[in-house]
Chain A
Amino acid sequence: MFPLIFLLPLCYGIAATIPTARIVVFYASSGAYENITDALFLGKFWGNHLSTKLAKSPEWPFNATVEFFDTMNNEARVRSYCRSRFANKELPNVTAVLGPFPYKMGYAVSDVAVKYNIPVVFPEVVAYATTNGVVKQLPSLTSSFFILPAGFTFSTAIEAYIKAGVHTVFVAYLKSPSFVQPTTTCQAAANVAQQRGINVLGQVSFTPTNTTDDLYQIVLTIKSLNPDAVIWCDPETCTSAYRLPYHVLPLFKRANYLPKALSLSDCVDYPLTSSLYAQGLYPFVSSAQAYNARCSGNDYTEDFTPYSSLFRPQTPPDFTVNKPLFPSNLARIPVFTPYLFEN
């Protein structure tokens, strides 16, 4: 009993010296964007990872608690929660927030968070708008951070077009009040193409209320203009079942027409579109992306920092190739670090 009595104040003393942090993670269990980012699962996993770090690493400097809030895809609910939670003096102060999706919900959080200097990191929401390569930032977003790039996803595609000899392009995009990404991405694509000397034959927007026949008319217009490349921004047709019937590929097939290049905004490699793959509609379709399964190299490898390390490959601390880390006889001893010793 004595050691326990002795240790309790000691443990309490150690715990007291480690600062606390409260992180609020938003997720949606229902609505059009139900579990789209998997924030609940990943957030719980991350919370456990932080607890493990605290328990096992003597140098770990903070004690984090992760709170979750279900947006239910309801902007008013989110705004109301933020007002009450961020100002609440009885609960521990919020240290940081993982922002919700889509942007209306996200901006509702930012509106309140900025008043309390609470940082909001958005995995999916894009910054306000881009015009001629300039991001216009709203004052309410000064404490918000955006993981997605600023709408220039098609810049690389335009480079590839120029290299391949594309001279003309047609741009079509979804214009939705709840999802601005297709508009900002495609408008930026048209701007960049024009600046790089590609003739933009047309820019057309459509809305979520447009029928497939409306979209087919756009495809027929494209067919009559016959551009070298078509840029089509409606990524939800690959991520949301309710938008799948509006996917553009069956419409190009119906029109019996294909341009020399057809580039979508992301929208490739999605299980939801497996029926279109099975029909043979997808081969040679190109895509402007910020992420691809095959991304590799230093930029896609966590560096040697004391935080995270969950998905960091084990590498030799000394990067010299020809210098063996261990004598050859020791290298044959079985170990549990395959990447370090693998021949």
Chain B
Amino acid sequence: MTDQQNLGKTARYPSSNALFREWYFAVRGVYPDYTNVPTWAAFDVLESALFRAAADPSNIINGHLPASKVLHALIGSDTRTPYGRVAFDANNVNNGLKGLFSQVLPSSSFSQIVYPSDLQTDVFVYPMPTWEERVHTWHLLGGAQKKIAFSVSIACSVALGLFLITMVIYRRGERGGVWVWMFVQLAN
């Protein structure tokens, strides 16, 4: 992956969205929502148009930047902002943004983007579990997997116990191991 592709996707090259969110949380104590981020995007778009209009000296009339020149700079403009790309179509409506489809997943605090694929951060769960399927009732050895897990844990515990007993006996000098020791005990 090139740095160009990484741009805005990694901790090394975070997105403007991430930086804006970080800043907003630091100064306001809450994360920005879908009303705050486009508001900042609007300021970015205005700033871009003002800059481009003012950069042309022929646009200046009596030391003032006329509204009509800024209007002209806004028509068809294409600006990158923390809200995403803002590109105005023939009706002055932003068509630079993709619609997003997100889903609240139990594994994370913020919703995950499940579509489109280039922005996707998780997989769309469909069908969603019903209300009944969400109620978890705990049963001791309620399923085959639990039974297998229980048997394996018992076997492992027995093996571990035998190993510990062997160790103890070995340290006492009875080198025949636990089996010899048990045989001797039984014989006595």
Contact = CB atoms under 8 A, between A and B. Distances in A.
Interface of A: 16-17, 19-21, 23, 36-39, 41-43, 46, 50, 61-62, 64, 92-96, 98, 101, 116-119, 121-124, 127, 135, 137, 141-150, 152-157, 159-160, 163-166, 228, 239, 253, 256-263, 266, 268-271, 280, 282-303, 305-308, 310-313, 315-316, 319-321, 339, 342
Contacts of B68: 117
B150 interface: no
Q: Which 7 A-B pairs have the closest CB atoms?
A: A260-B127, A284-B128, A156-B99, A301-B8, A61-B54, A62-B54, A160-B115
Given A92-B64, A147-B38, A62 B95 contact: no
Interface of B: 1-4, 7-9, 12-21, 23, 28, 30-51, 54-55, 60, 63-68, 70-71, 74, 79-86, 88-89, 91-106, 110-116, 118-119, 121, 124-131, 134
B32 to A, nearest CB: 8
B122 to A, nearest CB: 9
Contact of A299 (B47, B84, B110): B84
A217 B101 CA distance: 27
Contacts of A261: 126-128
Given A154-B99, A296-B8, A301-B16, A239 B42 contact: no
Contact of B83 (A165, A291, A298): A291
B12 A295 contact: no
Nearest to A340: B12
Where chain B touches its partner, the secondary structure class is mixed
A145 B124 contact: no
A321 B3 contact: yes
A307 B47 contact: yes
Contacts of B54: 19, 21, 61-62
Contact of A302 (B82, B100, B106): B82
A9 B41 CA distance: 38
Given A123-B35, A145-B74, A301-B7, 20 more contacts: A20-B65, A21-B70, A41-B28, A64-B50, A96-B49, A98-B42, A135-B93, A137-B91, A150-B94, A166-B126, A258-B128, A259-B128, A260-B127, A270-B33, A288-B101, A294-B121, A299-B80, A310-B23, A313-B7, A319-B2
A95 to B, nearest CB: 5
Given A38-B39, A286-B124, A311 B2 contact: no
Given A145-B45, A160-B114, A296-B8, A155 B39 contact: no
Contact of A141 (B1, B17, B92, B124): B92
A198 B3 CA distance: 40
Given A96-B67, A313-B14, A159 B116 contact: yes
B34 A21 contact: no
B126 A165 contact: yes
Nearest to A166: B126
A116 B12 CA distance: 46
B99 A152 contact: yes
Contacts of B12: 339, 342
B68 to A, nearest CB: 4
B115 A156 contact: yes
Contacts of A156: 98-101, 115-116
A42 B43 contact: yes
A146 B92 contact: yes
A93 to B, nearest CB: 6
A313 B16 contact: yes
A220 to B, nearest CB: 15
A268 B112 CA distance: 10
Given A149-B95, A256-B131, A289-B99, A119 B80 contact: no
Contact of A298 (B8, B45, B60, B113): B8
